[in-house]
Structure 1
Amino acid sequence: MKNITGRMHRSDVDILEELQNDSRVTVSELADRVNLSDSPCWRRWKKLEEEGYITGYSATLDRKKLGLQVVGFSQIRLNSHHPIDTEKFELAIREFNWVMTCFCITGEADFIVQIVANNLDQYYERASELRRLPYVWSIQSSIAIKEVKNTNQLPLRN
């Protein structure tokens, strides 16, 4: 089985997979899971952090329990593709904590953003806030009606 990371050692891929599943695992538990002794496992783990394969650790929260019932996706077209306008838009997007993801895309739109909100009224307010940015020409939004899959785990093996 070939891994997506190319020449990365199998033990490193195993460590990354385990940490994606449970980043609270102890070194000893991780070592058992990847068939290494504690010291080599710890060294490989630290090396993966130093080389930037691991960029941080976080908890996965239940958005519905936190009252964030609405997930929407807005395709945004800018009125200019001048680098200064694009940069201003990107800086503004980074400031909105309710924008979960933002990608520059190909096609008719320039960007797609994922927005979370408590309800449809709040979603409308947030989309309107984006629409009022001076460099936004148009927004086309879609509301998610069912979550089928939502993961942040990357596929490490083909």
Structure 2
Amino acid sequence: MNNTDRALLRHMQRDASLSIAELAELTAMSKSACWRRVQKLEEQGVIRQRVTLLDASALGLPLTVFIAVKTNAHNQAWATRFKAVTENIAGVLEVYRMGGDVDYLIKAVVADMAGYDALYQELIQADLFDVSASFVMEELKQTTELPV
């Protein structure tokens, strides 16, 4: 990956709606060269997808919650079930298997405490040992831009 690729990625991370013509102009390339580079980055898996980021609060989902999960069942069958449960819960944005004291960390958005309780009721279908939640009071930084 060279500096031109990095410049393309920086621009695309900030605004995925930029056209190939706009990207070409921003990176001082021809449209066809720019298109080929973008295609190559997609084929290599560097660009996974292009999305539109939404404002959760504007959609009535102002409460972000981080849910720490511990399990006593450290086996593939449980992990497969847990993954299936979390994939099907609306509002669950991210799920990570962790090292350390917590087995899994979940990031979710909900409308309110009742919304969290409904999410929790769905989550415990995975037969969890311990669940604790931390609620975001203020977002200090949130970005999807990787340092390229």
Q: Equivalent residue for 1:103?
A: 96
Q: Equivalent residue for 1:151?
A: 143
**Per-residue Cα deviation, 1:47-91 (whole angstroms, up to 9, x for no partner):** 111111111111111111100011100100112101211121112
2:40 alignment partner, SS class: helix
Say which of 124, 138, 142 aligns to 2:130. Answer: 138
Shift of 1:12: 0.9
Higher helix share: 2
One-letter amino acid matched to 1:138: D
Q: How many pairs were matched up?
A: 148
CA RMSD between the two structures: 1.2
Distance (whole Å) between structure 2 residues aligned to residue 149 and residue 30 of structure 1: 27
Shift of 1:97: 2.4
Check the 8 A contact 2:97/2:105 in 1, yes or no.
Answer: yes
One-letter amino acid matched to 1:112: L
Which consecutive unaligned segments of at least 5 residues does structure 2 have?
none
Distance (whole Å) between structure 1 residues aligned to residue 126 and residue 32 of structure 2: 52
Q: Equivalent residue for 2:51?
A: 58
Return structure 1 stretches of 4+ with deviation > 4 angstroms.
Answer: none
Shift of 1:133: 2.3
Distance (whole Å) between structure 1 residues aligned to residue 30 and residue 107 of structure 2: 42
**Per-residue Cα deviation, 1:7-48 (whole angstroms, up to 9, x for no partner):** x11111111111101111111110111121211111101111
Distance (whole Å) between structure 2 residues aligned to residue 86 and residue 144 of structure 1: 27
